[in-house]
A and B are shown apart, each in its own frame.
Chain A
Amino acid sequence: MNPSKVPGRIGLREVAAFARGCAVLGCGGGGGVTLAERLARDAVARFGPVRVVDFDDLAPDAFVMPCGMLGSPLIFEERLPTGDEPAELLAAVQAAHGRRVDALMPFQLAGANGLVPLAWAATVGLPLVDADGTGRPMPNMATVMGLSGVPPTPAFVVDGEGQRITIRAATRDRFVTTAFGVLAGVGGLGAFAFELMDASVGRRAAIRGTVSRALAIGRAVLTRRGAVEAALPGGRVLARGRIRHLRHDTPDRGKGGSLLVEDTDGHRLLRVEFQDEFLLALDGGRVVAATPDTIVLFDAETRRPLLIDELREDRFVTVVAGDGPAAWRTPEGLALAGPAAFGLDLPDGVA
C-alpha cells in the first residue's frame, strides 16, 4: 500500500486535526489525547513544524526509531513528562548502536501514542515517518514489524529523570516479559524505543501512510465536511442511536464490559464488547466488526470520539468501524491482534 499524499509537515495548524485523528484510532482506549496534544503543540510552537516523510523519501540505510510511551495513561497524566525523554532515548540508542537516528516513527499511532512521537520529533529536530506499527492500541507490544521478524532489541527505556535501561533479549517473548518488568521498575510508565530498523526494512514491515490518514480523519471530524467513515479504509456506520445497558464488569470479575446501541431506524440493537478498547460489534448476533478493525463511538453532540470511561447511558452516539490493517490479517497476525487474543471466543473465520 502506497500512501496517496504525504502531508509534508505538521505545524501548529495541523496539531488539533492530527490529535483528533489519533483519538479516533484509539478505539475508545489508548489514553485521552489532551495531554499529548498539549505536549505536541508546545513542542511544535517552540521548535517549529515537524517534517513528515515517507519511507521512500529516506535513504535505504536511514535509521528509523519506532517509539512512544508504555504504561498507564493515568500515570502519564499524573506524573507528567520532564521533556528530557526524546534526548535520553536518542542518547541511549546512539550509545548502543553507535549510529545516529534519522527519523522517528510512532510504534502505535492510536490515542496519546500517536502524538507523543510528534512532540519528540519536534523537540529533537528529526522528521516523523508516515507510518506506524499497529493501527490501533495493541497489548503486549505487538506490532506488525514484529510479525515481519524485525528484532525488537536492543530496546531502550528511559523515564525522563535520568534512568536509562537497555534490553537485549534472546526471544521476543522474553523481551516482552523483561519490558514489563522494567516498566514496573520505572514506576509504571516509561518512554520506549524498540524494533529500530533501516528504512529499507520499514518499507515492507510497517503500516504505511497512517500519519496522513490520522490527519485526514481528524480533518473530517473537525471541519464537519465529509463523513468520518469516508476517511477510514472500509469505513462504515454500524449504528446511530442511544447507548442502553452499559455494563462494566465488576472489578472482581474482569476489566471489560459491554453496551447496546439502540438504533433510531427501528428495533435494531448493536452490541459492543470492550476491554481497554472497543473490540467487537455484533448486529443481530452477527459479527460486523472485530479487532483489529477500528471501532469508534462518536458523541453526537460534540462529535468527539468517546473514551470508554466517558460512556454514559442515554447518550446519542454514532458507531463507526473501519477495516484493520491488512498486515494483521494473516493467521499469525490474528493470533496477536484478533478477537482470540483478547479472550473473545468466536468461530473460526468470523473475524
Chain B
Amino acid sequence: MTTEAVRLAVVAGHRRTEAAVVRPDGHPIAAVEFASTGSAVADVDAALTQLLDRHPAETAAARAVVVACGWSAAALHRLHDLNPVLAVRLAATPRSAVPPLNGWPSALRTAVSAGEVVVSGGCGVDGSAPVPLDRAGLRAALARLGPSASAVAVTGTFAGVSPDDERAAERIAETELPGRPVVLSHDFGVLGLLERENAAILNAALTGVGRAVTDALVAALAEHGLTAPCYVVRNDGTLMLAEHAARFPVLTYAGPEAAWLRGGAVLAGLDDALVCRAEHTEVTIGVAHAGRPRVAPGRRMLAGVPTTVGLPHLATVRRTARGADAVRAGSRSHLSRTIERMRDGGAPEQVVLVGAAGELPGVAEVLRPRQARFAAAVGAALAPVGATAETILPRSMPADRRRDLLVERAVELAVRHGADLGAIYVAELTELPLPYLPDSPVHARARVEGPPQLRARPS
C-alpha cells in the first residue's frame, strides 16, 4: 500500500472515460478506460468499480477524488433537464431596451424562461444606490411568476461593485419561494450586465440537474467505500468541492477539456504547449499557458448566448471514417492550418499529443508523452483548487490596500472551494484602469490557488 498522497481522478469525456490513481509526481499507478455511455453518473460508477476491482489497494488509498464530466454541456445542447428560471433584474428603471433573455435562441428561451421582471434596485459604478430596492415589487413579482419557476436568477446593476441588493433579493426569494435555488450574478463576474445576467440564468437553469448529478456522484463514492473529499474540475482547470460545484454548473461546463489541457502540459513537463487530443473520430486542439487552459478570446458564448463564462480556447478537426489514407491527406492540411491559426492567436510552437489516437498526421515535431492516453485523469488529479475575486475599486484607495482586500476575498473563497488554507498562493493579480471614467477606477482581479484538502492519512 502506498503511503504517498495519491489522488483518484475520473474524467467522463464526450466519447471516452478515463480514470487513474495518480502519484504527486504525475505518474498513474492504476488506470482504466472505456467508451463513455453518455451518463456521467454511470461512467463514474463504472470507473470506480473497475479500479477497485483491478487495483483495490491503490484505489482505496486515494486521499482526494476528482471528477470532470460534461453533463452541463450535454444538458444545454440537448435542452433537457433544464429548470424553468425566473429572471429578476434590479435596475434604476423598470423599462429596458434590452430586457432579460433578449436575443436568446428561441428553443433555449422556451426551455428556460419562467418569466422575466425588472424591479428597482442596483447601484452605480461607485457603489452608491440611486434607488432603493423595491422589496414590495419584488415580492409581488415572485408571487405572480414564482409558481412556474424552479430557480431564480438575480442580476443587479453593478452588482460586482456592491452585491448588497442581490443578496437582499436572495433573502426575499428564499422566503417567498422556499427550496428554490437562487443564483446571483456577481458570482459570475463584474463587467457587462447582460453577459453576467445570461451566465446567472443559464446556471440557474442547470441547478436542478447539477444537484441530482452531484448527489448521485457523492452517493456512488460512498457506496464504493471512498471517504476522501470529492472535487470537480472547473473551466479554468482548477478544482472546487463537489458540494459547492453543484451550485455553479456553468463553471464546470468544460471540465473534461480543461483536465486534458492541463494534463498534456504536466505529462510533457512544459508550462506552455499547444495540446492536441486525438481520438478516433476527431482531434481537438487547445492551449496550455503557464500550465492552465488558455481562455478563448473575444465574446464568451455559451449555448449561443453571450456570457461572462470563460471557456478553454478549442478548435476541433473531424476525422471521417472513409479510407484512412485518403482522408488523412485531406484532413492533414486542415489540421495544420488550424494549428497555424491557433499559433496566430499566441499559441506556443511545441505540440503535445494526448488521447487515444497515437499519431497526428502531417504535423511535425509532435511530443507524445508516456501515459498520454490518461492525460485528462492526470491533469484532473494534479489540479489545484482555485478561486477568483474581482471588483471595481477607487483609484484613491492605496495600491496595497486594494491588493490586500482582493486577495483576502479570493482566499476566503478558495477555502470554501476546498483549498488547504495553509498553502494558498496568489497565482495572478491584475489591475486595469477603466477607460472614459473621470477618476479612472480600477478593475482589479485576484486569482489564488492551493492544494485540495486531503483525507487524513490512514493511521
Contacts and interface: CB of A to CB of B under 8 A. Distances in A.
Contacts of A255: 433, 435, 440
A75 B160 CA distance: 13
A161 B191 contact: no
Given A38-B103, A188-B437, A301 B193 contact: no
B91 A251 contact: no
A276 B97 contact: no
Interface in A41-62: 42
A80 B344 contact: no
A271 to B, nearest CB: 19
B415 to A, nearest CB: 28
B370 to A, nearest CB: 29
Interface string B67-111: 000000000000000000000000111011110001100000000
B266 interface: no
B434 A301 contact: no
B192 A78 contact: yes
Given A252-B395, A299-B297, A315-B346, A29 B435 contact: yes
A75 to B, nearest CB: 6
A31 B436 contact: yes
A34 interface: yes
B97 A187 contact: no
A79 B92 contact: yes
A184 B346 contact: no
Contacts of A301: 297, 341-342, 344-345
A248 interface: yes
Interface string A71-100: 111110111111110000000000000000
A332 interface: no
A308 interface: yes
B436 A79 contact: no
Given A77-B192, A302-B297, A304-B298, A309 B125 contact: no
A312 B295 CA distance: 12
Nearest to B97: A83
Contacts of B98: 35, 38-39, 42, 80-81
B442 interface: yes
B235 interface: no
A336 B349 CA distance: 45
A242 B95 CA distance: 45
A35 B193 CA distance: 10
B345 A82 contact: no
A299 B125 contact: no
B130 interface: yes
A279 to B, nearest CB: 13
A73 B436 contact: yes
B303 interface: no
A251 B442 contact: yes
B324 to A, nearest CB: 30
Contacts of B436: 29, 31, 71-74, 276
Contact of A251 (B124, B125, B158, B440): B440
Given A77-B194, A188-B125, A83 B346 contact: no
A34 B125 contact: no
A173 interface: no
B344 A251 contact: no
Interface in B296-340: 297-299, 306
Contacts of A310: 297-298
Contacts of B222: none
B125 A83 contact: no
Contacts, number: 126
Given A161-B93, A188-B124, A72 B346 contact: no
Contact of A78 (B102, B125, B342, B432): B125
B54 interface: no
B193 A80 contact: yes
A222 interface: no
A202 to B, nearest CB: 26
Nearest to B98: A80
B157 interface: yes
B15 interface: no
A248 B433 contact: yes
B192 A73 contact: no
A77 B125 contact: no
A303 B243 CA distance: 41
Given A73-B435, A304-B298, A309-B432, A84 B91 contact: no
A309 B431 CA distance: 11
Given A83-B97, A276-B435, A72 B399 contact: no
Interface string A172-185: 00000000100010
Nearest to B393: A251
Contacts of A308: 435
A254 B346 CA distance: 28
Contacts of A74: 125, 191, 434-437
Contact of B102 (A38, A75, A252, A312): A38
Contacts of B438: 180, 184
A299 B346 CA distance: 10
Given A78-B157, A80-B97, A188-B125, A316 B435 contact: no
Contacts of A315: 297, 344-346
A348 B435 CA distance: 29
Contacts of A180: 438
Interface in A8-31: 29, 31
A300 interface: yes
Contact of A313 (B93, B298, B342, B346): B346
B445 to A, nearest CB: 12
20 contacts: A31-B436, A34-B299, A35-B194, A72-B435, A79-B92, A79-B157, A80-B193, A82-B95, A83-B97, A160-B95, A161-B92, A161-B95, A188-B125, A248-B432, A248-B433, A251-B442, A255-B433, A255-B435, A301-B345, A302-B297
Pick the 10 closest A-B CB pairs, nearest first. Answer: A83-B97, A314-B346, A316-B344, A301-B345, A300-B344, A82-B95, A276-B435, A315-B346, A72-B436, A255-B433
Given A77-B194, A184-B438, A242-B346, 8 more contacts: A74-B191, A78-B192, A80-B97, A82-B93, A161-B92, A251-B433, A255-B433, A316-B343
